[in-house]
Chains A and B, each alone.
Chain A
């Protein structure tokens, strides 16, 4: 079976045969950048289509169904429409910050992809602080949102940005604590090591109830960090028009939209890497025949399947729960999730010390 690592090593050998080492390195950098960009864009197009279809079916309607088969080209058409729209800035905005904010949010959400392990041997940066890096970098995004909201000189934008800031920083705590639970059990921050430690069972199965609790907390917190419903106060369209990106139009808005989906992709990747075994297949200990069948399924299908599962979960929330109020939102985090996560971490530490996990 062809692995992704075969393809990358083939590219490396071909390029080394053609070019000098320095040029090879440069060419590989460009190729990697283009590859990640293309991958992410394809993912986002699928997510947007999926979002609209899921929303449609949950409300007993069809969703997009005119452009292409089952409306599959609707998103492409929307992208072209957005590309040709004027990206306009009102007179009263702070020009520098207003124009800088889309670049910042997009760059930050891209950088969080660096330590992700996509498939066996296909990882851009195998660092020993992988998980910390992802959570650190992805939290810079809130600065971009605050920049966009403040510089717009619009009251809706300002309120949306402030809400978003309070929400993202609050929920980061419980997201970090729930990842820490797995880090404590596994003993490493490296994405590579965390995946390897799950070769005999995903953490959600090995870690008893505390890790299942961490997984639930992580999904809730990451939904809030992505400003997704029911935590979409930052862009609550019935009260704030579009929140922090009210004044953005054309592709300026498109970049914020894109970033929202890339952030969803990143949190889905982290959740599936940390709790659901990354690209590792589902194994039942001692059931060899079943395990071999599972191994036959390629690792990228496992990884992408888990990502789509988490994304579907997040979309499901959106059509299940009504939007929270800001005081309810902060109460949920500070009075329930944070204390419970801290207690949970202590329990996890105790289980790890006693060696009670599998």
Chain B
């Protein structure tokens, strides 16, 4: 935190923050997970128990604006989506590398900046390569 401003009105908040922190820790992920799963199970069960249900032969068909569906759905799909996800994978890994860098940038200083300059340069060249190869153009 910057020490430029030392208004005592701010201290109220900072004190409130430091003194009475009630932390559950990483168990909170499991709490949230189970509350979400429990909620989903509950509302779906309510629908099952109280909902009305009737069946007829047409009901089980896939929805397609009233006409019968033709052919299979699970076919080979447009490769365009796949290319984007490949490029994404490369860039996402590089961004994950940037996270630890960003946290220590202030402490390490100029060295970190120069290193990241090269890093992003390579990142950019990769992007340019993908651009040139038309991987970023929708087909």
Contacts and interface: CB of A to CB of B under 8 A. Distances in A.
A339 interface: yes
B102 A180 contact: yes
8 contacts: A90-B61, A111-B36, A125-B26, A187-B103, A281-B13, A327-B137, A342-B120, A345-B120
Nearest to B63: A246
Given A33-B31, A345-B98, A352-B105, A92 B60 contact: yes
Interface in A291-310: 291-292, 295, 299
Interface in B15-68: 16-17, 19-29, 31-41, 43-44, 46-48, 50-53, 59-65
Contact of B136 (A36, A109, A330): A330
Contacts of B51: 84-87, 250
Contact of B123 (A125, A254, A342): A342
Given A32-B31, A176-B92, 13 more contacts: A36-B31, A85-B51, A87-B48, A102-B44, A120-B20, A124-B28, A172-B92, A177-B98, A184-B105, A241-B63, A283-B9, A327-B138, A346-B120
Main SS class of interface, B: helix
A87 B24 contact: no
Interface in A68-123: 83-88, 90-92, 102-103, 106-107, 109-111, 113-114, 120-123
Contacts of A173: 88, 91-92, 95
Contacts of A295: 9, 12-13
A189 B103 contact: yes
Contacts of B59: 88, 90
Given A125-B25, A200-B10, A91 B61 contact: yes
A358 B1 CA distance: 11
Q: How many of chain A's residues touch chain B, expressed as a range?
A: 35 or more
Given A123-B21, A154-B64, A183 B99 contact: yes
B76 to A, nearest CB: 12
Contacts of A352: 105-106
Residue from B23, B28, B52, B106 having most chain A Cβ neighbours under 10 A: B28
Contacts of A292: 9
A17 to B, nearest CB: 16
Interface in A21-77: 28-29, 32-34, 36-37
Interface string B96-139: 00110011111101101100110010011001001100001110
Interface stretch (A191-199, A209-217, A315-323): A191-199
A120 to B, nearest CB: 4
A29 B1 CA distance: 32
Contacts of A111: 29, 32-33, 36
Top 5 closest A-B pairs, CB basis?
A327-B138, A91-B60, A33-B35, A110-B36, A124-B28
Contacts of B91: 173, 338
B105 A280 contact: no
A180 B99 contact: yes
A349 B113 contact: yes
A269 interface: no
Contacts of A5: 16, 20-22
A153 B103 contact: no
A154 B69 CA distance: 8
A29 B17 contact: no
A123 B23 contact: yes
